[in-house]
């Protein structure tokens, strides 16, 4: 004969817990833990900073039980590295040259939006009293730029057009802050940089533009997601995409209020921010064939210059697009 106790009924269990007198509907239920959405951004990520400052995404995603956390990075490549290792889920905009570097390192990334071209929002600059007047004169000179940034691709294209190769210059891989310091103290001959840092050094130091991205680099800004997150939460991507579009529309329609809002957040005066914003399109659109074709051209240019460790096939990366 078994000595096991008979199974307790649900009512006996409730009685033991002192809950039998309560109607079942009134028993407490545990709310599902909210899912975290970790977003990485840079100082130049205007639209994402706008959403962050207004709690826009928190409100838009509350109904989907998603909580947002924000993580600032110095430049685009560390941002995408964090995306690849699972430290964040979404990246704000990065320059068009950044994804090929991350993909060459094996990152599993999904493209989910672009900002349309802003070719004049990045440039090669020299000091106002510099004797240099052309890109060809950069031969043998030390040039500062952020490795893997749009500035890196712009430099490659400008050198090629001037009949030079990457080996003709001495590269100084520096973040925007360190690049500005090296530029100011004269330890580099030129600096390749993007807005708002470009507008700041032009207005504050009188830096001269040797060449901008016109006819060299379209300078689209790309938004990316960790592929596992994009596959699991396309609904979250759709919500973020909608809010980015709205933010871009507001900034272009309200240049002065936008600059007055943004200036204190990034430590620049409103006039400098407005000058920078005039050069950025801030038009958020789905990732299209033309933008991906340019991604491939960028990747091929880096491979040819031997700054990418291996050939990259952009077509192998997934693309999220909003429903029609």
> Residue ranges per domain, the chain?
35-117+220-316, 120-212
Question: How would you write 192-223 as a 3-class SS string?
Answer: EEECCHHHHHHHHHCCEEEEECCCCCCCCEEE
- Pick the more confident residue, 31 or 82: 82
Instruction: Report pLDDT for 22.
Output: 46
The string over 196-222, giving b where at least 16 C-beta atoms fall within 10 Å of a residue's C-beta and e elsewhere, is: bbbbbbbeeeebbebbbbeebbbbbbb
Q: 307: how many CB neighbours lie within 10 A of its CB?
A: 18
Regarding the domain with residue range 120-212, which homologous superfamily does it belong to in the CATH classification? Periplasmic binding protein-like II (3.40.190.10)
Q: Where does the pLDDT of residue 15 fall: very low under 50, low under 70, confident under 90, or very high at 90 and above?
A: low
Model confidence at 155: pLDDT above 70? yes
pLDDT at 151 over 60: yes
Which residue's entry shows tokens 């090296």? 182
d(CA 252, CA 277): 8
Among 19-33, 70-84, 110-124, 168-182, the least confident range: 19-33
Of 85 and 4, which is predicted with more confidence? 85
Superfamily of domain 35-117+220-316: Periplasmic binding protein-like II (3.40.190.10)
Higher pLDDT, 10 or 143: 143
Tell the burial category of 2 from Cβ atoms under 10 Å away from its Cβ (0-12, 13-18, 19+).
exposed
Tell me the mean pLDDT in the region 155-177: 95
pLDDT (0 to 100) of residue 26: 47
35-117+220-316 and 120-212 share one fold: yes
User: 96: part of which helix (H) or strand (E)?
Assistant: none
Percentage of the residues of the chain whose pLDDT score is greater than 90 = 81
Instruction: State the average pLDDT for the chain.
Output: 90
pLDDT greater at residue 221 or residue 19? 221
Where residue 31 falls among pLDDT bands split at 50, 70, 90?
low
The pTM for the full model equals 0.83
- Could you identify the residue written with the tokens 């520096």? 174
């Amino acid at each position: 004969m078994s000595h096991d106790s008979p199974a307790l009924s649900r009512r006996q269990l409730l009685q033991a817990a002192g809950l039998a007198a309560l109607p079942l509907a009134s028993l407490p239920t545990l709310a599902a833990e909210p899912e975290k959405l970790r977003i990485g951004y840079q100082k130049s990520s205007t639209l994402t900073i706008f959403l962050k400052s207004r709690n826009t995404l928190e409100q838009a995603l509350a109904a989907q039980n998603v909580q947002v956390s924000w993580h600032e990075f110095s430049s685009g490549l560390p941002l995408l590295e964090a995306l690849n290792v699972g430290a964040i889920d979404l990246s704000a905009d990065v320059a068009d040259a950044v994804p090929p570097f991350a993909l060459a390192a094996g990152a599993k990334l999904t493209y989910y939006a672009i900002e349309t071209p802003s070719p004049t929002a990045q440039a090669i600059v020299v000091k106002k009293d510099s004797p240099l007047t052309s890109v060809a004169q950069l031969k043998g000179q030390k040039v500062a730029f952020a490795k893997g940034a749009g500035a890196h691709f712009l430099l490659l294209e400008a050198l090629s057009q001037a009949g030079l190769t990457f080996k003709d210059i001495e590269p100084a891989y520096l973040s925007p802050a360190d690049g500005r310091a090296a530029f100011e103290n004269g330890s580099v001959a030129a600096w390749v940089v993007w807005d708002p840092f470009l507008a700041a050094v032009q207005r504050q130091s009188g830096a001269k533009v040797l060449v901008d991205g016109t006819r060299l680099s379209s300078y689209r800004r790309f938004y990316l997601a960790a592929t596992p997150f994009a596959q699991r939460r396309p609904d979250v991507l759709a919500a973020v995409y909608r809010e980015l579009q709205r933010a871009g529309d507001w900034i272009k329609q309200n240049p002065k209020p936008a600059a007055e809002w943004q200036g204190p957040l990034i430590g620049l005066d409103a006039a400098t921010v407005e000058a920078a914003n005039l050069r950025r399109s801030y038009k958020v659109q789905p990732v299209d064939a033309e933008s991906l074709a340019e991604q491939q051209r960028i990747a091929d240019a880096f491979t040819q210059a031997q700054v990418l460790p291996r050939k990259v096939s952009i077509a192998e990366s997934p693309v999220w697009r909003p429903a029609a």
